[in-house]
Amino acid sequence: MITKIAITDDHEMIRNGIDSLLENHPDILIIGKYSNALETISALKQSQPDVLLLDINLPDINGIDLCKALLKEYKDLKIIALSNFDETSFVKRILKHGASGYLLKNTSTEELISAIETVLKGEQYLQKDIQEKLMNRSIGQQKKNTLHIKLTRREKEVLQCIYEELTTQQTADQLFISPKTVETHRMNLMSKLGAKNSVGIIKAALSRALLDA
């Protein structure tokens, strides 16, 4: 039985790289490669894959939010998150929203295929090092909460823009960086502060005296 795979990632090199990893597998067919969330939403209305390999850091819609929206519409779709981020907060959030697996983009062909086979059986797949990190984080969570949070200069600048209620584009213009880079810093802030959204970022930052208010 042929498994239909789709890939959503804003980097053409990543899309083509995954395609080349899977192209010679006799039971796998790549039916679509999409560069952003809106392309993915439109394409799935026409042809639904069995498994979607989804980058969590997209330029238009956050991949975690996209995962939640797609699974509400397509109950049988299996989503495996692909990311450069190994922060446990990202893993927990996208799994909470229904993703079946989480892989880093440096994964091997064998592990990628194993992940696809696992989620198709209705099971969850996490790379071993991510599993260990989740376990260690769970054990050390209480201790970690007492530690001082260290932010980079750029993260502090993005945090200030969030506090001033600037949009992603306004923040990008003010700091002379791309909207995608703004979103990356925002996700890093959520991870470091244990927040789920911008409101949570501000609450956590204020409680830790990271902002002058």
Predicted confidence at residue 136, as pLDDT, reads: 72
State the pLDDT at residue 82.
93
CA–CA distance, 5 with 34 (Å, rounded to integer)? 12
**CA–CA gap between residue 180 and residue 3 (Å, rounded):** 32
Q: What is the pLDDT of residue 142?
A: 46
Each domain of the chain, given as residue ranges in start order, spans 3-139, 153-207
Q: Where are the alpha helices (DSSP H) in 12-87?
A: 12-22, 37-44, 63-73
- CATH no. of 153-207: 1.10.10.10
What local confidence, expressed as pLDDT, does residue 210 receive?
Answer: 85
pLDDT computed for residue 60 by the predictor: 92
Q: Pick 3-139's CATH classification: 1.10.3720.10, 3.40.605.10, 3.40.50.10140, 3.40.50.2300.
A: 3.40.50.2300
CA-nearest of 48, 43, 122, 111 to 82 is 111
The reported pLDDT for the residue numbered 203 is 86
What is the pLDDT, as a whole number, of residue 139? 52
**pLDDT tens, per residue, the chain with 213 residues:** 899 999 999 999 999 999 999 999 999 999 999 999 999 999 999 999 999 999 998 999 989 999 999 999 999 999 999 998 877 878 888 999 999 999 999 899 999 999 999 999 999 999 888 887 777 766 555 444 445 678 999 999 999 999 998 999 999 999 999 999 999 999 999 988 888 899 889 988 887 778 755
Name the token pair of 203.
């609450």
